[in-house]
Structure 1
Amino acid sequence: MSFELKEKGNQLFKEGDYSGAEDLYSQAIHKNPSEPTFFTNRALTRIRLEKWAGVEQDARAAIQLYGPKSSTSLKSCWYLAQALLGLHRPQEAYEVAIDAYRASLTAKSVQTENLSKSVLRAKQQIWSQKESSRLREMDQTLASVEQLIEADLNRAVAELQGQLDRGDIGHIGCVEDQKALRDDAEKTIQNVREAFRISSKGEIKQRDVPDYLVDGITFEIMHDPVMTPSGSSFDRIGIQKYVEQAGVDPITRTPMTVQDLRPNYALKAACEEFLTQNGWAVDW
């Protein structure tokens, strides 16, 4: 009976009825709480609904049932990393994603690319939080303005949550409205920072690391980038070690050897130029 509920939930998921699918997966879990696929299916449904606390709960339950060191838990680790990012807990997301990423390389898992992206997103979110703190420490007026913007955002989000709890609006509409509020607040903060940057003659400026300079294995800025036959670039030390162990391209999974790697001189020049102008990025 529980697997029938799962199949019905799968059908609703395919039709885009995520709330209906979530309810059926919940019924299946109630009848059989020891089946990990019920939790992974509900976690994916909740990702679509952006119910991040629920995603975290389901992903952790699935990981426990699969076994934390089992390769079958890697998809659940990816879901957990997404949940932690959605909950603005990037350091935890990074720790989950990087451990799972390393395990996926050993297991030659199809989740490697997804986990790689999650690691990079986590590092970017960690850096963004550090930059916000740095900028606010530099200028108390900027800090006060940004805190006012965030306070207004929190009040508006809380009001929407209250409407959802009273049944005045649906969950999907609430999520969409909250996202729009957050996007507007982020744009306002960026505009404020740009105004302060201009008035401070460039002293107050947010620093960013371009994605294309970051190695997809170590997740650090590349020092000596080389290119695989598929066209992806990695830092030489990391990709050589990976290819020697796995014997495949980390992105396409096609067989390759270290001899197939070619220097990427243009990217190396770009990395060197960026680090020359942005010494802080070494510790990114």
Structure 2
Amino acid sequence: MMPAAEVHKVNGNDLFKRGDFHGAVVEYTKAIAKDASSPVYFNNRALCRIKLEDYDNALDDADRAVQLCKNNEGLLMKADFYRAQSLLGLGRPKEALRAAEEGYEIAIRTVSPSARNMCDFILRAKKAIWERDQRRRLAEKSNFFQDMQNLIYQDFDAKVRQLRNHSDNGELDPDGISALSDQIDSLRFERDDRFRNLQTVFAHLDDEKDRQVPGHMIDPITFEIFYDPVITKNGCSFERSSLLEFLKRNPVDPMTREPLSVADLRPNLALKEACSEFISENGWAADS
């Protein structure tokens, strides 16, 4: 006879397949009430809560699953991935990146087909970090622009006050009001010219770089930027997860068609570092 907890898990799985994530959460919760020692129930409930965008509770479940499945790398990999998704949903991309990288290492070690999804998520997390930093940079630049603009207007006001004081003290040329008006107009022209120059400088700072990923940073199988490139004995570089999937179907070099095995692969550390640096400065590349 199937244990009661397993009955609730099966019911939850069925509801999940039908898209009833709320109902599935209820069933997995009942399973946990019967047996709180199984990481599977916490992992399953975490995934449902991610689907429901209930990231706080999903993270709690994933953390609990991590604690329970130290000796099961497959379940630990899932828990790490769910932790990563929850953390990204909570706006904590750096923590999400670390969790995803931990899961990715397990996926590679166990030759899991989930490695490709993990790799894609890592690029998403890196993009999220870049976007957050970019928003901060833009805010700082906007504040700086406002400060510079205020200084220009303050300088103009100070010079106009000085002119008026000179006029009141009879220190201007004999032309009187006409001379004062002309000099204020001259200052106003100078102010507006400085402001236009300031706008031009900041407009150039907004110019986007040429949004093109260098060809040597693109995986020839997925046509995406590298995250974890490996190099073959023939000197060709590929994304590790995509090449491992390819070799499962056909043990040859995708470029040369010569025999190739996992043992022939070596990490391309220089290329990995170059791609990581490129993404940190150009987060949009994660979507390329």
State the 1:61 CA deviation.
1.4
The residue that corresponds to 2:191 in the other structure is none
Counterpart in 2 of 1:256?
Answer: 251
Asked if the contact 1:63/1:76 (under 8 Å) is kept, the reply is yes
The amino acid that maps onto 1:227 is P
Distance 2:67 2:231 in 1: 34
Tell me which of 114, 128, 133 is aligned to 1:125.
Answer: 128
**RMSD of aligned alpha carbons:** 3.8
Unaligned 5+ segments in structure 2 are: 147-198, 258-273, 282-288
1:203 shift after superposition: 2.1
- Match for residue 227 of structure 1 among 220, 223, 231: 220
1:80-99 matches, within 5 Å, as 80-99=83-102
**Aligned CA distance change for structure 1 residues 236 and 90 (closer, same or farther; 3 Å):** closer
Quick check: 1:77–1:96 contact (8 Å CA) kept in 2?
Answer: yes
Tell me, yes or no, if structure 1 residue 4 matches structure 2 residue 20. no
CA contact (8 A) 2:123 2:227 kept: no
CA shift at 1:36, angstroms? 1.1
SS of the aligned residue for 1:239 comes to strand
Distance 2:16 2:200 in 1: 49
2:21 corresponds to which residue?
18
Q: Which amino acid aligns with 1:238?
A: P
Residues 259 and 83 (structure 1 numbering): CA distance in 2 closer, same or farther, change over 3 Å?
A: closer
User: Do the aligned residues in 2 keep the contact of 1:101 with 1:115 (CA within 8 Å)?
Assistant: yes
| Alignment CA distance shift 1:87-1:19 (3 Å) | same
CA contact (8 A) 1:9 1:20 kept: yes
C-alpha change, 1:209 and 1:51, in structure 2 (3 Å) is farther
Amino acid at match of 2:206: I
Residue 162 of structure 1 corresponds to which residue in structure 2? none
Q: Is the 8 A contact 2:58 2:86 kept in 1?
A: yes
**In structure 2, how many angstroms separate the alpha carbons of the residues matched to 1:2 and 1:69?**
20
Gapped regions of structure 1 (runs ≥ 5): 144-196, 214-220, 263-274
CA deviations on 1:160-219 (whole Å, 9 max, x unpaired) are: xxxxxxxxxxxxxxxxxxxxxxxxxxxxxxxxxxxxx99942423577966xx3xxxxxx
**TM-score, normalised relative to structure 2:** 0.59
The answer to whether 1:136 aligns with 2:139 is: yes
In 2, distance between residues paired with 1:93 and 1:64? 18
Equivalent position to 2:58, from 41, 55, 58: 55
How many residues are matched? 204
Q: State the 1:4 CA deviation.
A: 0.9
Counterpart of 2:231?
240
Q: Over alpha carbons, which structure has the higher Rg?
A: 2
Deviation (angstroms), 1:99? 2.3
Q: Residues 111 and 126 (structure 1 numbering): CA distance in 2 closer, same or farther, change over 3 Å?
A: same
Question: What is the percent sequence identity of the aligned residues?
Answer: 29
